[in-house]
Amino acid sequence: MKLRHLVLSLAAVLAAPYAISAPGACSGKAPSGELTATRIAAANSTRGEPGLYEGPVWIKDALYFSDFTFSPGFPSRILKLDSEGKVSTLIDDSGSNGLATDGKGNLLAGTHKYKSVSRYTLDGKRSDVVSQFNGNVFNSPNDLTLAADGTLYFSDPDFQRDAAPGGQDKTRVYRVATDGKVTVVDDTLKNPNGVSLSPKGDVLYVNGMVGDHGVLRAYPIVNGVPQQGKNLVEKLGIPDGMAIDCQGNIYVTEHTDKRLRVFTPAGKQIATIKVDANVTNAAFGGADGKTLYITGAGAVWQLKLDVTGSPY
């Protein structure tokens, strides 16, 4: 593993990470069988050009997500869906893809516009969290997750590499410690995408491509450091973002298959959740943390479940 130091320490930025699972005991039944999520009509895209919603994150009483198009530079904004079903623009030119939260009510974002992981306050102020590895900017940071101790993990595929000059020689998964040290977790996946942690923070999950098929890979975390990854699920469709429920089940989106498949921590499939367009990501939210929100091609879907889960 190669180690590099950042100019900016993460200690202040990520001092109070968001809990991976909802507080209190985990109860309820995991989903099973075939389910269908429902569109939230108010969130249907009004753009006149193709694009995607991405990176949902639930903060307090609202869902935040990225909305980017395929125009040159992949222009992006961050939208807010409040508890009354109203959609508004929070940040008009965010350059963002995946979102998370730092536990202080601020957004963390994979920002292809800046080729970095950024921190956004809810009044739109941006700062870099991590912007380089080995003296070069990243390709197009995509999905990200934050451990309880403030350690940041993110994927860096090349999907939006052309948004700005520069990039890395490989697509990778990175670990960023709170002191700013950057470590390569994996550089063998082609375009790693979804990144999530188990509820206890003892397993890192990443999906991506190996050859012509997708895989879900699990990395045991020992003393805070991910170990060698092992394929938990193989022969996925094109995998995208993921969510984790409080029981540790993994909800993997399969982009062009227009579905999520739910797997136990042992890799057994227990449910399929269908949507009616290409799908990108998912997160738990709502007043009780039991609503699964799903983003995709100009749409947000919701599905009421019996378990809580991670808010991004």
Residue 240 is assigned to a ligand binding site:
yes
Q: Is 102 a catalytic residue?
A: no
Residue 54 is assigned to a ligand binding site:
yes
Residue 44 is assigned to a ligand binding site:
no
- What CA–CA distance (Å, rounded) separates 219 from 209? 16
CA angle (79, 83, 89) in 5-degree steps: 15
Tokens representing 310 are: 């991670």
Q: Residues 240, 245, 288, 306: which is the catalytic one?
A: 240
Half-sphere exposure of 188 (CA within 13 A, CB side): 11
Is the Cβ–Cβ distance between 282 and 31 less than 8 Å? no
**Rg value, the chain, Cα:** 17
CA angle (264, 254, 131) in 5-degree steps: 95
Q: Residues near 126 by Cβ (< 8 Å), separated by ≥ 6?
A: 94, 111, 114, 118, 119, 120
Residues serving a catalytic function are 240
Annotated binding site for a divalent metal cation: 54, 193, 240
Annotated binding site for substrate: 142
Annotated binding site: 54, 142, 193, 240
